[in-house]
Amino acid sequence: MNNYFKKNIILAVIFLISAFYFLISIVYAATNIDSASPNYYAWNDLIGWIDFYSTGNVNVSSAQLTGYASSSVGYIALDCATSPNGNICATSNFKVSNDGSGNLTGWAYNDNIGWISFDSSTATSTYPYQVAVNSGTGDFSGWAWNDNIGWISFNCSNSGAGGCTYPYKVRASWTATSTSGYLISSVFDSFGSSAINSIIWQGTQPSGTAVRFQLASSNSSNGPWNYMGPDGSSTTYYSANPGVSMAINTANHNNQRYFRYKVILYSDASQTLTPTITNIIINWSP
CA distance 12 to 14: 5
Answer whether residue 20 shows pLDDT above 90. no
Percent of the chain scored above 70 by pLDDT? 87
Predicted pLDDT of residue 4: 56
CB 279 within 8 A of CB 201: yes
Q: How many CA atoms lie within 13 A of 34 on its CB side?
A: 19
Residues 6+ apart with CB under 8 A from 163: 156, 157
Q: In one letter, which amino acid is 252?
A: N
**All domains of the chain in start order, with CATH:** 3-20+178-285 (2.60.120), 33-162 (no CATH)
| Residue 269 or 72, more confident | 72
- Find out whether 33 and 57 touch, Cβ atoms under 8 Å: no
Tell me if 144 sits within 8 A of 125, measured CB to CB.
Answer: no
Average pLDDT over residues 234-260: 91
What does the pLDDT read at residue 19? 31
Q: Closest Cα to residue 229, out of 247, 245, 244?
A: 247
DSSP 65-106: EESEEB-TT--EESBGGGBTTB--TTT---BEEE-SSSBEEE
Please, are residues 239 and 214 in contact by the beta-carbon 8 Å criterion? no
Instruction: Report how far residue 219's alpha carbon sits from residue 212's, in angstroms, rounded to the nearest whole number.
Output: 24
Phi-psi region of 51 (alpha: psi -120 to 50; beta: other; left: phi over 0): beta
Residues 177 and 267 sit within 8 Å (Cβ to Cβ): no
pLDDT of residue 5: 56
Q: With bands split at pLDDT 50, 70 and 90, how would you rate the model's confidence at 238?
A: very high
Letter string b/e over residues 248-265, b meaning 16 or more CB atoms within 10 A of that residue's CB = bbeebbeebbbbbbbbbb
On average, the pLDDT of the chain sits at 86
pLDDT exceeds cutoff 50 at 21:
no
Element containing residue 62 per DSSP (H, E): none
First-to-final CA distance of the chain: 7
User: pTM for the complete prediction?
Assistant: 0.62
Identity of the residue numbered 219:
N
Q: pLDDT tens for residues 165-213?
A: 889 999 999 887 778 889 999 999 988 888 889 999 999 999 888 999 9
Give percent of the chain above pLDDT 90: 63
- 77-86, 109-118, 135-144, 186-195: least confident range: 186-195
